[in-house]
Amino acid sequence: MASFDAIIIGGGPGGYVCAIRCAQLGLKVAVVEGRETLGGTCLNVGCIPSKALLNATHHLHEAHENFGKMGLMGPAPTVDWPKMLGYKDDVIGQNTKGIEFLFKKNKVTWIKGWATIPAPGQVKVGDDIHTAKNIVIATGSESSPLNGVTIDEKTVVTSTGALTLEKIPQKLAVIGAGVIGLEMGSVYARLGSEVTVIEYLDAITPGMDAEVAKTFQRILQKQGLKFILGAAVQGVDTTPTGATVRYKRKKTDAEATLDADTVLVATGRRPYTAGLGLDTLGVELLPRGQIKTDAHFATNINGLYAIGDAIIGPMLAHKAEDEGMALAEILAGKSGHVNYAVIPGVIYTTPEVASVGQTEEQLKAEGRAYKTGKFSFMGNGRAKAVFQGDGFVKILADKATDRILGAHIIGPMAGDLIHEICVAMEFGASAQDLALTCHAHPTYSEAVREAALACGDGAIHA
Ligand code: FAD
């Protein structure tokens, strides 16, 4: 038994960042993690492995589609799937070991095992009860179940199974056209699978700026992905050779089926708080299972806090990290804060898609007077050189003040470009502030500047 200033349950991006910051601020801190390795969903079965596979298959796609256009001749590479999975596992290992190193460096204690909270101020792991002034729940999330669908992680899989399939499916059905479904769908489409995405809504990537979503769908279709939109999945039946997805067209009520070797269920995630003993403690939850917290991440129980996917907000690693850092500052007597208005979202397909702030649809719904500056990557020399002119940067700014309200990018390195706009928004910048900032030539970033110019007197290369 040991006593700490803070015990954090969960070693994912929320938990490990909170722990490291607590230690840096002089607190005695421990993390309880039940997995074999640190890093949570993100490093083990989420962000990192999916990006490794996206990277490998992006190069494969480039070799097949674009090398010849650049005079790079010769046979395109073939896929050694076990080796590709090995590369992915190696990337995971490097990252999870990195967190272990950071724990040692910062003197964060890792208590290995699954935690329960028998009483306020106490954390039980195995037979040991540890005490802490503050307990932080950072237990993350799990895939949401879908009615009529039984997951076996072999034929009918969640994203976790999709990262370790024994072989590349000939036909892959993806249920859900959100970020995870489209990223993994892209991976397998590039590997040669026939990928069909079934989505309940009438558009892909719900919540995304509609113009971006439309362009994104068109580009993905060009890459071979098929979409069945406005369809409600009724169930999935496994067959000797794979599985059959039963779905109903929402408009007509017509029923139809789709056969596949593998079905990926990517219909969202829900907070994971099982086994903590929250019921007995009387911790208040929101209707969708998130732990209810105040603006300082405090639950209704004294000394008990929660962050990351386990609470409300976008289920993103960087949102969890920011909350972890802010809470550590609060626990150390400083003032921690997260600006939820400026949390970027990225989809790591080719092209990448990135957004921050409000969409046009949200601004219209609010009745806000805004202006739009849009610039096509067709006018950007670098984008054309990598065959990615087929996208754009869109900046939305307040009509009267020119203050940037949101930005939406589909194009090369969108996930990196968006941060210039995030910083600008944090400083309350106007579109003109961006437009008057010198941008190096030739860079993709020039498209951001051009979109900012388009909010004013006009872009130059449009
Ligand atoms: P988690 O990372 O889920 O960590 C929680 C940890 O708590 C887990 O390791 C779990 O084992 C542990 N735990 C739970 N209960 C207990 C207990 N009782 N005792 C001990 N340990 C416990 N986000 C992005 O921002 N970018 C991306 O590109 C991205 N890609 C993704 C791709 C996939 C396929 C998936 C599934 C998710 C992706 N995400 C991405 C989301 C991201 O992984 C999560 O938002 C992030 O991991 C949440 O961090 P967290 O710390 O709240 O929880």
The answer, yes or no, to whether any atom of ligand 1 lies below 6 A from the CB of 137, is no
Among 47, 53, 123, 160, say which to mutate for ligand 1: greatest number of ligand atoms within 8 Å of CB.
47
Among 32, 36, 41, 319, say which to mutate for ligand 1: greatest number of ligand atoms within 8 Å of CB.
41
Q: What is the mean pLDDT of residues 427-443?
A: 98
Residue minimizing CA distance to atom 12 of ligand 1: 10
Confidence of residue 401 (pLDDT cuts 50, 70, 90): very high
**Cα separation, 268 vs 330, whole angstroms:** 31
**Cα separation, 236 vs 155, whole angstroms:** 10
The answer, yes or no, to whether any atom of ligand 1 lies below 6 A from the CB of 396, is no
Confidence of residue 386 (pLDDT cuts 50, 70, 90): very high
Where helices occur in 305-359 by DSSP H, the ranges are 317-331
What is the three-class DSSP state of 46? coil
Residue minimizing CA distance to atom 28 of ligand 1: 47
Residue 1 pLDDT more than 80? no
The answer to whether 159 touches 180, Cβ cutoff 8 Å, is yes
Q: What are phi and psi of 45, to 5 degrees?
A: -140, 25
Q: Residue 336's pLDDT is what?
A: 96
Give the relative orientation of helices 317-331 and 13-24 as an angle to the nearest 10 degrees: 30
**Cα separation, 297 vs 299, whole angstroms:** 7
Q: Residue 76's pLDDT is what?
A: 85
Residue minimizing CA distance to atom 22 of ligand 1: 10
Q: What is the mean pLDDT of residues 421-443?
A: 98
Nearest atom of ligand 1 to the alpha carbon of 41: 2
Q: Residue 133's pLDDT is what?
A: 98
The answer, yes or no, to whether any atom of ligand 1 lies below 6 A from the CB of 208, is no
By annotation, the residues acting in catalysis are 441
CA 149 to chain centre: 24
Residue minimizing CA distance to atom 27 of ligand 1: 47
Q: What is the mean pLDDT of residues 259-277?
A: 97
Q: Residue 2's pLDDT is what?
A: 86
Give the relative orientation of helices 445-454 and 414-426 as an angle to the nearest 10 degrees: 50
Give the H/E segment covering residue 210: helix 210-222
Among 20, 96, 128, 139, say which to mutate for ligand 1: greatest number of ligand atoms within 8 Å of CB.
139
Q: What are phi and psi of 339, to 5 degrees?
A: -90, 95
Give the single-character DSSP code of 76. Answer: P
Residues 199-230: tens digit of each pLDDT = 999 999 999 999 999 999 999 999 999 999 99
**Cα separation, 172 vs 161, whole angstroms:** 13
**Cα separation, 190 vs 111, whole angstroms:** 41
Non-local (6+) Cβ contacts of 205 within 8 A are: 177, 178, 179, 182, 212, 213, 216, 347, 353
Q: Residue 357's pLDDT is what?
A: 98
Q: Residue 95's pLDDT is what?
A: 98
Q: The tokens of 275 are what?
A: 């086994």
The answer to whether 233 touches 198, Cβ cutoff 8 Å, is yes
Burial 401-429 (b: 16+ CB within 10 A, else e): ebbbbbbbbbbbbbbebbebbbebbeeeb
| Cα 356 to ligand 1 centre (Å) | 21
The answer, yes or no, to whether any atom of ligand 1 lies below 6 A from the CB of 40, is yes
Predicted TM-score of the model (pTM): 0.97
Residue minimizing CA distance to atom 14 of ligand 1: 139
Residue 49 pLDDT more than 90? yes
**Cα separation, 303 vs 83, whole angstroms:** 47
Phi/psi class of residue 422: alpha, beta or left (left: φ > 0; alpha: ψ in -120 to 50)?
alpha
The answer, yes or no, to whether any atom of ligand 1 lies below 6 A from the CB of 140, is yes
**Cα separation, 355 vs 179, whole angstroms:** 13
Adjacent-strand bridge partners of 213 = none
Closest CA to 113 of 129, 135, 136, 91: 129
The answer, yes or no, to whether any atom of ligand 1 lies below 6 A from the CB of 117, is no
The answer, yes or no, to whether any atom of ligand 1 lies below 6 A from the CB of 19, is no
Per the listing, tokens 């307990």 go with: 135
Q: Residue 213's pLDDT is what?
A: 97
What is the three-class DSSP state of 132? strand
The answer, yes or no, to whether any atom of ligand 1 lies below 6 A from the CB of 134, is no
**Cα separation, 41 vs 178, whole angstroms:** 17
Confidence of residue 411 (pLDDT cuts 50, 70, 90): very high
Confidence of residue 34 (pLDDT cuts 50, 70, 90): very high
Q: Is 227 exposed, middle or buried (0-12, 13-18, 19+ CB in 10 A)?
A: buried
The answer, yes or no, to whether any atom of ligand 1 lies below 6 A from the CB of 185, is no
- The string of DSSP letters for 344-405 reads -EEE-SSSEEEEEE--HHHHHHHT--EEEEEEEGGG-HHHHHTT--S-EEEEEEETTT-BEE
CA 1 to chain centre: 37
What is the three-class DSSP state of 459? coil
| Cα 138 to ligand 1 centre (Å) | 9
